[in-house]
Amino acid sequence: MRKDNIYLIGFMGTGKTTVSHKLSELLGFEEIDTDEWIACQQGQSIPEIFENYGEQYFRGLETELLRRLGEGEHKIISCGGGMALKQENVALMQENGVVVLLTAEPETILARVRGDDGRPILNGNMNVSYIQELLAKRLPYYEAAGEVVIATDLRSPQEIAEEIEKKLNSGKICFDF
């Protein structure tokens, strides 16, 4: 089966957006950031969407976007941290591309997201123990969805992007550049 798109998944702060930029430079693929796209389409920030309509509404928008993106090819889709928690989303991603899971330790995540109030899930919960607990709950879903797994602690986005390219080229994954 030919797989044309790359879906970057993982917990908040695992570097999906920055790695997406580097990977786009390396491969020349178009980038789509699901949070950015949804915020633009709704004319509201992610915290405003959560505040005004609730999390379930936002999750519905995520799935709707994945369905629309299914048609495309040669795209890097940087997904919000909750995208891989829903089986329907995972099926859509695996059908239309390679799912790359980025991981990081809770301490690394906290250092990356601290001071950013754009993530409603972490508002009021900016500490290692909360992140650790939520990460433990989500990890089985992330691991079930990810076909390629890359640890991002202490590594630059450039190094991570190069490793992804190498893994996709290794022949284990049937990927069409």
**Which residues of this chain interact with ligand S3P, rule CB under 6 A?**
12, 16, 35, 46, 80-82, 119-121
Vertex 73, ends 70 and 77: CA angle to 5°? 70
Q: Which is nearer to ligand S3P, 36 or 159 (CB)?
A: 36
Residue with smaller CB distance to ligand S3P, 80 or 175: 80
Radius of gyration of the chain (CA): 15
Nearest-approach distance from CB 59 to ligand S3P, in angstroms: 9
DSSP secondary structure letters along 71-123: T--SEEEE--TTGGGSHHHHHHHHHHEEEEEEE--HHHHHHHHTT----GGGT
CB 8 within 8 A of CB 79: yes
CB of 55 to ligand S3P, least distance (A): 8
Shorter beta-carbon distance to ligand S3P: residue 16 or 75? 16
Taking the C-alpha atoms of residue 166 and residue 63, their distance in angstroms, rounded to an integer, is: 29
Rounded least distance, CB 151 to ligand S3P, Å: 17
Cβ proximity to ligand S3P, 89 vs 96, nearer residue: 89
**Choice between 16 and 22, CB closer to ligand S3P:** 16
Q: Is 148 helix (H, G, I), strand (E, B) or coil?
A: strand
Least gap, CB of 159 to ligand S3P (angstroms): 20
Residues in the chain: 177
Least distance from C-beta 22 to ligand S3P, angstroms? 16
